Amino acid sequence: MKKCAYLRFALPIFVGCAMSAISIPAQEPESKPNLLGMVVDPLGAPIGYANIWIHESHDQKSYSIRVGQSGSFAAHLPDGTYDVMIASPGLAPFVKYIWVHDGKVFNLKVRLKIDPENPPMY
């Protein structure tokens, strides 16, 4: 009877975790980052803790990372084509299509604009 109770408890957690997006660390220690970037506001000040979602076009894999306090980010992605979306509250999301290949480093400097539909509250 205890096994059944354990399975009823563990299965929903496992399924829920398997269905969520894969989260990748800002930089894997064994590999060099091939996506580097900086996120700034309309005045050029760094935006810390913005969210980045990366969707691989061919295999339909998704990753998410968070920008560091200084506005910078780094990630190692397998070769492929990706849609990158960067968002922060009150600012319009930024979307860019990138192609990571042949060990080349892709540098991305993003200046987010004020979202006229949802302006920041000061």
**What's the pLDDT tens digit per position in 35-68?**
999 999 999 999 999 999 999 988 889 999 999 9
Kindly write down the DSSP assignment for every residue of the chain, as one continuous string.
Answer: -HHHHHHHHHHHHHHHHHHSPEE--SS-TTS--SEEEEEE-TTS-B-TT-EEEEEETTT--EEEEE--TTSEEEE---SEEEEEEEE-TTB--EEEEEEE-TTPPEEEEEE--B-TTSPPP-
pTM beyond 0.75: the answer is: no
- Return the top range by mean pLDDT from 21-25, 26-30, 52-56, 113-117: 52-56
Parse the chain into domains and list their residue ranges.
Answer: 21-111
Q: Which CATH number fits domain 21-111: 3.40.50.2020, 3.40.50.300, 2.60.40.1120, 1.10.600.10?
A: 2.60.40.1120
